[in-house]
Amino acid sequence: MLKDVSEGDYVYIPAQTLLYMYEGCTAEHYTRVVAVEKPLYLMFVRDNALDTRLCDVFYEGNIWSIFRDGAYHAGDDDEARC
């Protein structure tokens, strides 16, 4: 789970991580889902206020949600899960 990550920090996600796009003010039903093909570094935007299991990241010009337990804090010596 990501800890001590701030807006603008980068997080590392491994290949095949799912990114979810939600519409409106709900985290109940996603409108799009993407599985990334390769590992990526994405900018952390904020904690997801509607679902504490998620955090929001910037990907291809939009805000997407990812599960915190599948993301790592970028810059750690071993990309350790935070």
Percent of the chain with pLDDT over 70: 84
Instruction: For the beta carbon of residue 62, count every other beta carbon within 10 angstroms.
Output: 10
How is the chain split into domains, by residue range? 10-73
Name the more confident of 78 and 62. Answer: 62
Q: Which pair of structure tokens corresponds to residue 53?
A: 């299991």
Q: Are 56 and 64 in contact (CB under 8 A)?
A: yes
Query: Is 38 in contact with 53 (CB distance < 8 Å)?
Result: no
The arithmetic mean of pLDDT across residues 24-36, rounded, is 79
User: What is the pLDDT, as a whole number, of residue 20?
Assistant: 94
**pTM, 2 dp:** 0.82
Query: Has residue 80 got a pLDDT over 50?
Result: no
Q: Residue 15: pLDDT above 70?
A: yes
What's the confidence (pLDDT) of residue 50? 84
CATH-assigned architecture of domain 10-73: Roll (2.30)
- The DSSP code for 68 is G
